[in-house]
Amino acid sequence: MASKLDALNRWVDEVARLTQPDRIHWCDGSEAEYQALVELMLDTGDLSELNPATHPNCYLHRSNPSDVARVEHLTFVCSRNADDAGPNNHWMAPEEAHQKIDALFAGCMKGRTLYVIPYCMGPIDSPLARCGVEISDSPYVVANMRIMTRMGEAALARIEREGSFVRGLHSTGDLDPAKRFIMHFPEELTIKSIGSGYGGNALLGKKCHALRIASWQARQEGWLAEHMLILGLESPQGETHYVAAAFPSACGKTNLAMLIPPAAYPGWKVWTIGDDICWMQPGPDGRLWAINPEAGFFGVAPGTSRSTNPNALAMLDRDAIFTNVAETADQQPWWEGLPEGKPATDWQGRDYDPANGPAAHPNSRFTVSAKQCPSWSPRAEDPQGVPISAIIFGGRRESLVPLVFEARDWKHGVLVGAAMGSETTAAATGAVGVLRRDSMAMKPFCGYNFADYFSHWLSLDKANAKLPRIFHVNWFRKGANGKFVWPGFGDNMRVLEWIVNRCKGGVGAVETPIGLLPRKEDLKLAGLGLGEAELELLLEVDHAGWAREYAGIGEYLESFGARTPALLQQEHARVSGELAASL
């Protein structure tokens, strides 16, 4: 089935000449195709079957142990001009990058099948959706792309109608980390990735297309491609507010998106629209309208349990792919934080021995269709998207940063997002728990210069705009005992309620130099068992500590040089001045 689109046929031919596969398979996205791929991977050992009685149609994939997370040091933005990639990205000149990576692609698919994977990011009939074609030699990638995107015939039909698409070329290569590159050519709408089978490096529709390439396009076209979950919060009166939230990888997006309100909130309901990526566009009414470009979840397994995220657990007992989790003696998937069962085999397939570290890899993942989520919103398929009332930024901060605060206005909110810091996690290779700046949770994903990105955010503040309010949260404050102070998970509902009430103008706040905080009495805290001292810690603003934090933020903004928007510098100077005056 070659395509009606010559440009696509020509590109597939060109790639086949370079990579020399034995066969070419055009993916139609059918169930039969999926099952055939599963059979193939069961034969090759790429997958093993989990217990069909407890987990029908669920499979386990074990990665090469050197290939379990995104590799930021091997990820490049190859714009013509180095300044356009900015200090926030690794850059390589496009010709050099093509040369380097094409040398690795040469002949790499010998003996293998080249899969052509047409996909659509977003509801297939949405004007906000965008299409791409990934070429890959990995059946694991095809199977995951079928769950994560609208993949196959319908996407190909849209691509043929539109005539344009993002090109993604992927091969697992020989998995040698020294021959691993993830390269983006935003001016050519092209991605090339070799040497990794891990989700964020290999499922090119996700971080590579929907964030790095899309953010570049979004800037040119006046919209936003963000690393955000989208949820709808419905009140007992049936009124729904949509909220988007940006947290770095493994900092709680999937969990917040699927929250189940605690008993103190009868009649309230959280609807899931997306758990990782949000595309937003100003509508004719001045509001920001958002879609989730994805069709599935690629979620962190460890920590997911009936008590922390019951909606996630409910969707994981059928039709799911697990990557690098452990197995029980009766072939059920297992990970740290799951109270039921115990591990017999670890993520590398060895007999479980605590001396080898955790049974499941800390960045082990599940891939599952969004339709299986009990809180999946019917509005997630709405081609127009949903209107966003609030944007939330947040990260892992064991000290200083309060549970929640609100920005004074849009420009202050952009500063709050730009200034975000978070402790690193296992979602990317490298040290864990190191504090780094991660503006809008986009440090690994913004496909262009952060200074231009901040300007773009500021530019949305037009006369007719009805922009969302901006908030900052921190679920990860630790007490003197080293434990998280805030119970988190379902109880994050208490913070969401304050946020939505602020949007409606129904609740007060205290002004501080860093923003507006709830008073204790503004939050529903009964039954949480938090002591006075803990509450105080969660809602305190340590002015001296924040003055130091703002000095660091100032240096960070300076690091982008003259391209940093003056308005952001002024806003930083204003807050710094207020902090200094308050000491």
Q: Is 364 annotated as a binding residue?
A: yes
Give which of 156, 154, 152 is closest to 165, Cα–Cα.
156
Residue 55 binds to ligand PGA (criterion: CB under 6 A): no
Site string for ligand GDP, 453-492 (x = CB under 6 A): ----------------------x--------x---xx--x
**CA 515, CA 575: separation in Å to the nearest integer?**
9
Residues 305, 313: contact at Cβ < 8 Å? yes
To ligand PGA, the closest distance from the beta carbon of 49 in angstroms equals 25
Closest CB to ligand PGA among residues 257, 338: 257
Residue 250 binds to ligand PGA (criterion: CB under 6 A): yes
Closest CB to ligand GDP among residues 128, 312: 312
Report the 10 Å Cβ neighbour count for 125.
Answer: 11
Site string for ligand GDP, 216-255 (x = CB under 6 A): -------------------------------x-xxxxxxx
To ligand PGA, the closest distance from the beta carbon of 255 in angstroms equals 11
Say which entry of Mn ion, ligand PGA, ligand GDP, none residue 549 contacts (CB below 5 to 8 A, set by partner kind): none
Number of residues that bind ligand PGA (CB under 6 A): 10
To ligand PGA, the closest distance from the beta carbon of 479 in angstroms equals 26
Report the 10 Å Cβ neighbour count for 404.
Answer: 28
Residue 427 binds to ligand PGA (criterion: CB under 6 A): yes
Q: Is 576 annotated as a binding residue?
A: no
Q: How far apart are the first and last CA of the chain?
A: 70
Residue 134 binds to ligand PGA (criterion: CB under 6 A): no
**CA 23, CA 215: separation in Å to the nearest integer?**
34
Instruction: Tell the residue number behind the tokens 């006369």, with chain if given.
Output: 463
Written as six digits, the tokens of 466 are: 């009805």
**CA 502, CA 515: separation in Å to the nearest integer?**
13
User: Judging by DSSP bridges, how do beta strands 224-226 and 365-369 pair with one another?
Assistant: unpaired
Assign 161 to helix, strand or coil: helix
Closest CB to Mn ion among residues 254, 281: 254
DSSP state letters, 100-143: HHHHHHTTTTTTSEEEEEEEEES-TT-TT-EEEEEEES-HHHHH
Containing H/E element for 391? strand 386-394
Which stretch in 139-147, 199-207, 232-240, 450-458 sits in contact with ligand PGA by CB under 6 A?
A: 199-207
Catalytic residue list contains 108: no
Closest CB to ligand PGA among residues 120, 301: 301
To ligand PGA, the closest distance from the beta carbon of 419 in angstroms equals 20
**CA 449, CA 460: separation in Å to the nearest integer?**
17
Catalytic residue among 58, 251, 278, 446: 251
Closest CB to ligand GDP among residues 17, 483: 483
**CA 534, CA 485: separation in Å to the nearest integer?**
7
**CA 553, CA 359: separation in Å to the nearest integer?**
38
Instruction: Tell the residue number behind the tokens 């999937």, with chain if given.
Output: 254
Q: Which residues does the annotation place in the binding site for GTP?
A: 250-255, 365, 396, 489-492
Q: Which residues does the annotation place in the binding site?
A: 70, 198-200, 207, 227, 249-255, 276, 363-365, 396, 489-492
Contacts with ligand GDP, residue ranges (CB under 6 A)? 247, 249-255, 275, 299-300, 302-303, 308, 475, 484, 488-489, 492
Active-site annotation, residues: 251
Contacts with ligand PGA, residue ranges (CB under 6 A)? 70, 199-200, 207, 249-250, 276, 298, 300, 427
